[in-house]
Amino acid sequence: MIEMTWKDVPLKSKLVFFILMGILVVLITSTAVIISTVTTQEEELAYQQSIEKAKNYANKFDIEMRSNQATGQAIAHSLTQYHSENRTEVNNILLKLLEENPDLLGTYVCFEPNAFDGMDSSYVNTTGHDETGRFIPYWNRIPGNITLDPLLDYETSGYYQLPKKLKRDIVTEPYYYEGVFIVSYVTPIIREGEFIGIGGVDVSLNHLNGVVNKVKSFDTGYAIMTGNTGILISHPTNEELVGAKTLYDYGVPEITRMADEIKLGKSGYIETIDPITGKDVVMFYEPIKTSNFAFILVVPRDEMLAGVTDLRNRLLLISSISLIFMGAVAILITRSVTGPINEIVNDFKNISDAAIGGKLDERAETDVDIDFREIPEGLNDILNALENASQLREEMEKVVNNSPVIVFKWKAEKNWPVEVVSKNISQFGYSPEDFGPNGLDYGDIVHPDDLPEVETKLGEICSGKETQFNIEYRILTKDGETRWVDERTFIQREQREIIHNMINKDNDIYNQVSDMEGKCHDVKYLQGVIVNIDERKQAEEALLKIEDIRKKEIHHRIKNNLQVISTLLYLESEKFRDDDVLDAFNNSRDRVRTMALVHEKLYQSKDMESIDFADYSKNLINYLSQSYVLEKSEVDIKINVENIFLGMDTAVPLGIIINELVSNSLKYAFDKGKGTIIIELRKINDHHKLVVSDNGIGMKDEIDFEDTDSLGLLLVHTLAEQINATIEIDTSQGTRFEIIFQENNQEITEGEDVR
């Protein structure tokens, strides 16, 4: 009996065995590494995206709550400097703030006994007061319409006692007030180091519950909001639990740990079973620092990692198919090499030697199994060389495909047919196979509104000698969403003479290159990259919004400062009894009020650059009428102002001019207290005409603006010169001032977009 050894195994069986085992080991190892690496990265990305989403929502609510807190601070700070002791005026301010901020539930102040005006006994049980008579007005929307009620429970509730004790801003824990679940933003009013009261605003958490319930994540994910004590501020399915249940009540260890970290102001996430849906979920929580709240994003784990699971399954499928395919290839290879084995071995040895070092004189040993020994040795040498080259190519492809930069090569033809595109086009939902002769052109994914501009600019670049093309525009993803991209393209040009010769020989080529209107006739191809800049665009939009808020704050502060100046002038005037001195103070207050009104209207305008002068004029005249109501109660003031928008540089001088002329008429034009004042402003071609007239006694002397004892008329003349206006005066019937000027800024009429 002959003993069979490894040398006796047929070559075909050996080849099949070695090839399949080698392929199996490589595929299993590489597949395991790839699946582990890719799925880990995808899972980390899914978690990071959910964390960022939770942070974005938390920041959004934090900004809104900071705005509410700023309103309460503004009330308290204004009353710190307020000394008029006029309860009606303060009530009007609180009412106006509530009307201008529909998201607020209420605005209020609460003063210590007799700390406001020392007249508490005069207001016992009147509107907005209780049996103490303290100044405690609460303007609120609790019944639906805006009403005025006295504050309740201020002697015991934290919204008053905490700022009184701590003398600092307070954001209360959520609590019920008159059946409404609210949170209060309160600031103490401290004058000369002594606490005298509070100013603040209330926000209904019922509205917040509706906003939070609209937040969705993946298919069935949702959001909730809690206080730092764990109390529920919103609930996705049962509103009755809001304010009545805390995170601790669920009795789930992970949720309890999350509640403990929320109490410490920490962020993070937990994996647990959702007590509401019973699903395996991940809860991402972020603090809302302004209000000591927390935003919790609840995401079903299987939905969040659906992409990871799908990717893993696809990689396993690809590996299985590759194994079957390579097995079939191995069988074909073994069949092809079982011919004349000596010739194949000698040929392969020559190739191997040439590839390694070019040694052609080496002979095979004639010892046992010499022929078979050379095959694996030569094969390994070749495979090592091929493996190095393959690894280098794969590494370069990974660098590109793992970067945000997508590489393209386009034909210089209409709509830019794609010749080559990197695989990371998948970040927009496409695959390289979607492009080609029977697929999409690049122009098909450019946003239709941006396509004409891109074509025009590229045509201009191509028609010159430039070799680079940069532009930002929008594209459409495969799902139809819009993304901003930055394109940077290199233009490879042909020799013009060669192209012209081709055009002369073949009209078809002429038709092809003329698709770009002849502008790209010398361009061989376009090669470049596009980068997703959507986040940068969103950041730029956010900066613009911040700039708008900053401008509003500037105008609001200027208006407040001017009101403080007006109040100071009034207080200073109380020291004098001389009519001329008092008149000077009152005139100065009117002028300051005129300027403050401009900044108030700019704060309320859409673009913060121009104001509705018709509305401004009505407010200004209403103020002047109230200032002179006791002496000129029967004077009729008529306003005929067109819907004209003026910039601040024109509106301020023009408002002061109207103030001076109308005040002058109210003081001196009507000896019997009866008469009519008319203010007109209209546009004539590219100029504006302002007319202020009265039917009073008129002026006896001719007016010389450059030589007059009247500060008001001198001020009118100076301000008119400031806006390059001309003044004409007619005293034949009463007094008529006609001022013609030209607005330097672009005029905006009612109904136009002022952005």
CA distances from 49 to 54, 129, 246, 297, 564 (A): 9, 52, 27, 12, 49
The residue among 8 and 669 whose pLDDT is bigger is: 669
Decide if 729 contacts 735 (C-beta within 8 A).
Answer: yes
The helix (run of H) or strand (run of E) holding residue 316 is helix 306-337
Characterize the bridge pairing of strands 634-641 and 674-684: parallel
Q: What is the pLDDT of residue 545?
A: 59
pLDDT tens profile 387-404? 565 566 667 677 777 778
DSSP for 21-73 reads HHHHHHHHHHHHHHHHHHHHHHHHHHHHHHHHHHHHHHHHHHHHHHHHHHHHH
Q: How far is it, in rounded angstroms, from Cα 252 to Cα 384?
A: 57
Q: What is the DSSP letter of 112?
A: P
Confidence of residue 253 (pLDDT cuts 50, 70, 90): very high
Secondary structure E strands in 533-658: 610-612, 634-641, 644-647
Nearest CA-CA partner of 592 in 618, 621, 562, 570: 562
Q: Rounded to whole angstroms, what are the CA distances from 83 to 79, 123, 134, 437, 658?
A: 8, 19, 17, 80, 29
Question: Looking at the predicted structure, is the pLDDT value of residue 709 above 70?
Answer: no
For the whole model, what pTM was predicted? 0.39
Contacts of 147 (CB under 8 A, 6+ apart): 139, 140, 141
For position 513, what pLDDT does the model report? 41
For residue 301, which amino acid is it? R
Range in 155-169, 372-386, 584-598 the model is least confident about: 372-386
Provide the token pair at 720: 């008119």
**Most confident option among 170-184, 235-249, 351-365, 740-754:** 170-184
What is the pLDDT, as a whole number, of residue 184?
A: 92
Looking at residue 472, the DSSP 8-state letter turns out to be E
Looking at per-residue pLDDT, the higher value among 209 and 226 belongs to 226
pLDDT band at 504 (very low <50, low <70, confident <90, very high): very low
Query: What pLDDT digit, counting tens, does each position of 79-116 carry?
Result: 988 888 899 999 999 999 999 998 899 999 999 999 99
Average pLDDT over residues 138-153: 93
DSSP line for 268-286? EEEEEE-TTT--EEEEEEE
Taking alpha carbons only, the member of 712, 737, 739 closest to residue 724 is 739
**Cα dihedral sign for 380, 385, 388, 393?**
negative
Phi, then psi, of 257 in degrees rounded to 5: -60, -40
Nearest partner of 110 among 70, 69, 66, 161, judged by Cα: 161
pLDDT in tens, 656-677: 888 888 888 887 778 776 788 8
- CA nearest to 413, candidates 513, 523, 524: 513
pLDDT at res. 700: 64
Average pLDDT (715-742) is 86
Element (H, E) at 222: strand 222-227
Domains 208-306 and 625-742 are alike in CATH topology: no
Fold (topology level) of 208-306: Beta-Lactamase (3.30.450)
d(CA 493, CA 499): 10
Long-range contact list for 171-179, CB < 8 A, 24+ apart? 171/65, 171/69, 171/290, 171/291, 171/292, 173/227, 173/228, 173/229, 173/231, 173/292, 174/205, 174/227, 174/231, 174/233, 174/243, 176/243, 177/142, 177/152, 177/202, 178/142, 178/152, 179/142
> What does the pLDDT read at residue 103?
85
Every domain of the chain and the residues it spans:
208-306, 625-742
CATH superfamily of 625-742: Histidine kinase-like ATPase, C-terminal domain (3.30.565.10)
Is 198 a residue whose pLDDT tops 90?
yes
Instruction: Write down the mean pLDDT value for the chain.
Output: 77
Grouping H, G, I as helix, E, B as strand and the rest as coil, residue 213 is helix
Residue 637 has pLDDT above 70, yes or no: yes
Are the beta carbons of 231 and 174 closer than 8 angstroms? yes
